[in-house]
Amino acid sequence: MQSRHTTGLKLFASLGALAVSIGFAAGAVAAPIAPQDVKIVDHKIDASLTGAAGNVEAGKKWFKGRKAGNCLACHENSDMASEAFHGEIGPSLDGVAGRYSEGQLRAILVNSKAVFGGETIMPSFYRANFGHRIAKSFKDKTILSAEQVEDVVAYLKTLGE
């Protein structure tokens, strides 16, 4: 009798926890906006893709990471002078926050083609399945996640004059 009672209480308690976590997921922390739903207006995206601000330190990591943004492959960045090789394909990103607003930087990252035109070599980092012969392991995937885009945007905002 005693033990059955305890079990009943435990069950009740965990159901309650479940209810709370479902409510939480649907409410406070919204899922990031899906790549196909992102709208670029006037070459900008004003709202965060995740609803939250990014993390500068994480943004640095994605900026350098060869398996992440690999931005350094194409852009020079004096803030990362300790890194061995900087690309020369795109413009230097020194002072980039002085040239573009946050919304413009986000749009450039999400879909460079929508900002620079279809001929640009710069990849679009938050678009999925738009090209030909995409390798199987990258099907349905964006190069960076919405969180990672926000992290990189937060980092780029620190590159002022």
In three-state secondary structure terms, 77 is coil
Of positions 31, 39, 141, 160, contacts another protein by CB under 8 A: 141
Distances (CA, A) of 101 to 20, 88, 116, 125: 38, 23, 15, 18
**Residue 135 interacts with another protein (CB under 8 A): yes or no:** yes
Contact (CB, 8 A) for 144 and 92: no
What φ, ψ does residue 41 adopt, rounded to 5°? Answer: -120, 130
> Number of residues in contact with ligand HEC, rule: CB under 6 A?
23
Among 71, 97, 107, 154, binds ligand HEC (CB under 6 A): 71
Please, what is the minimum distance in Å from the beta carbon of residue 156 to ligand HEC? 6
Residue 132 contacts which entry, another protein, ligand HEC, none (Cβ below 5-8 A, type-dependent): another protein
d(CA 142, CA 38): 13
Helix (H) or strand (E) holding 106: helix 102-110
Instruction: Look at residue 91 and give the partner it binds from another protein, ligand HEC, none, a contact being a CB closer than 5 to 8 Å depending on partner kind.
Output: ligand HEC
110 sits near ligand HEC (criterion: CB under 6 A): no
**Eight-state DSSP code of residue 44:** B
Measured CA to CA, the distance from residue 63 to residue 158 in angstroms comes to 13
Which span (26-34, 48-56, 103-111, 127-135) binds ligand HEC, by CB under 6 A? Answer: 103-111
Residue (56 or 128) nearer to another protein, CB: 128
Contact set with ligand HEC (CB under 6 A): 69-71, 73-75, 89-91, 93, 96, 99, 105, 108-109, 116, 120-123, 125, 152, 156
